[in-house]
Amino acid sequence: MKDAPTRDAYGQALVDFGADPRIVVLDAGVSDSTRSKKFGDKFPDRFFNMGIAEADMVCTAAGLATTGKIPFATGFACFLLGRTMDQGLVSIAYSNTNVKLVGTHTGLSVGEDGPSAQMIVDIAYTRAMPNMIVVQPADWEETVQATRALIDYEGPAYFRLGRPKVKGIFDSSYKFEIGKGRVVKKGADLVIFATGIMVQESMTAMEMLERNNINVTLVNISTLKPIDRGLVIEMASSHKAIITAEDHNYIGGLGDAVGEVLLDAQISKPFKRIAVKDQFAETGTGAELFEKYGLSANHIVQAVKDSLR
C-alpha cells in the first residue's frame, strides 16, 4: 500500500503501461500538475501538449480514437469539462469514441485553488451523458489498476482524480473491476457508501465511532456509472441506515446514484448524504473546507449517530 495522490498514481500508470503503441496522452498545458508529463518524458512521440485549448484537445482526442489509438485527454477537471461540454457530449459521448477524459484537482480538497477551480459538478455532468462511464479511484493501487482497466475498456470514460495525498487502502491482492464496488470493512450498524478521497475520510470517522462501540460497514464505490446495483441493494437491505460520502455537490453525484438504486428497488431506510450542499465554497485548505462545508470525518460521525437514534 502506498500513500500518494491519485494523480501521481495515474502518471506512473501511464508510464508502466505506455509500451502499448495504441496509447496516446494529451494534456491542456498542465502536464506537470496532472503528472501526464511522466508519459511525455518517456514517450514523447505519443504525447501532445495542447496548451490552454481544452476543446481542441478533446476533438483531437476523438480524431485519434477513430484511427485506433487510445487517447487519455488530461487536464484540471474544472477546465477539462467546463470548457468542453459541447465537444465532450458530441465528439465523445454521442459519437461513442474510445476517449478517456481524465480530470484532476477535483472537489473541495483542492482548497487553496479557490472556488472557481473546485470542481464539484463533474460527476453530475458525466453521469448524465449517455455512453459515458465514470470512475473515481480511492488510492494509489486502485488508480493504477483502474488506468489499466480503462485501457482495455472500449468506449468513452471520465476518470476523476484528486490533488492531495491519500492513504493507501488496497494492496496488490486487490482486483479493480469497472462497475464493481468493494466492501472495505464490514460492520453491523449502518453502511457508508463512499467514493474517492471520502473513502479515507470515512475510515477516519469509523475509527472515531469504534471508540463508542459503533461499527459500520464501508463500501468503496469507485465506479459511479455503471454503479454496482447488486452490492448497493445487498448492503442497503442488510443495514439499519445508509450514508453516502462524496467530495462533490449533493445534486447529481454518488448520493443521487445510490438513491436511484434504492428507489428502483423500493428500499426505504434512513438515508443521509455527506456532500457539498449546493453552494460554492471559498479559498482555504482542504481540511478547513471539509470541516466548514460538512465533509469532514466529524460530520460523518455525527451523521452516523443521528441515523442510529
Rounded to the nearest 5 degrees, what angle is found at the Cα of 183, between the Cα atoms of 143 and 139? 20
**241 lies in some domain:** yes
Overall pTM > 0.95: yes
**pLDDT in the model for residue 195:** 98
- Together in a domain, 194 and 153: no
**pLDDT in the model for residue 155:** 98
Q: Which residues contact 91 (CB under 8 A, 6 or more apart)?
A: 58, 59, 62, 97
Question: How many domains does the chain contain in total?
Answer: 2
- Together in a domain, 29 and 156: yes
Cell numbers that stand for 252 in this block? 447529481
**pLDDT in the model for residue 289:** 97
How does pLDDT run along the chain (309 residues), one tens digit per residue? 899 999 999 999 999 999 999 999 999 999 999 999 999 999 999 999 999 999 999 999 999 999 999 999 999 999 999 999 999 999 999 999 999 999 999 999 999 999 999 999 999 999 999 999 999 999 999 999 999 999 999 999 999 999 999 999 999 999 999 999 999 999 999 999 999 999 999 999 999 999 999 999 999 999 999 999 999 999 999 999 999 999 999 999 999 999 999 999 999 999 999 999 999 999 999 999 999 999 999 999 999 999 998
- Together in a domain, 186 and 156: no
**pLDDT in the model for residue 240:** 95
180/169 Cα distance (integer angstroms): 16
- Together in a domain, 146 and 40: yes
**173 lies in some domain:** no
Percent of residues in the chain assigned helix, strand, coil, to nearest 5: 40, 20, 40
Task: Tell me the HSE value of 39 on the side-chain side, using a 13 A CA sphere.
Answer: 34
**87 lies in some domain:** yes
**69 lies in some domain:** yes
- Together in a domain, 10 and 126: yes
**288 lies in some domain:** yes
The neighbour count for residue 264, using CB atoms within 10 Å, is 10
Decide: 103 and 119 in contact? Cβ < 8 Å: yes
Alpha helices in 242-295 (DSSP H): 254-265, 286-292
The CATH number of the domain holding residue 226 is 3.40.50.920
Instruction: Say which amino acid occupies 191.
Output: V
**pLDDT in the model for residue 309:** 84
70/153 Cα distance (integer angstroms): 10
**pLDDT in the model for residue 45:** 98
- Together in a domain, 89 and 56: yes
Active site residues: 54
- Together in a domain, 188 and 108: no
The CATH number of the domain holding residue 62 is 3.40.50.970
What is the layout of strands, in order, in the sheet containing 217-220? 182-185, 217-220, 191-194, 242-249, 271-276
- Together in a domain, 145 and 37: yes
Domain extent at residue 90: 6-160
Instruction: Please report which helix (H) or strand (E) contains residue 283, including its range.
Output: none
**pLDDT in the model for residue 1:** 85
Q: What is the pLDDT of residues 244-256, one digit of tens each?
A: 999 999 999 999 9
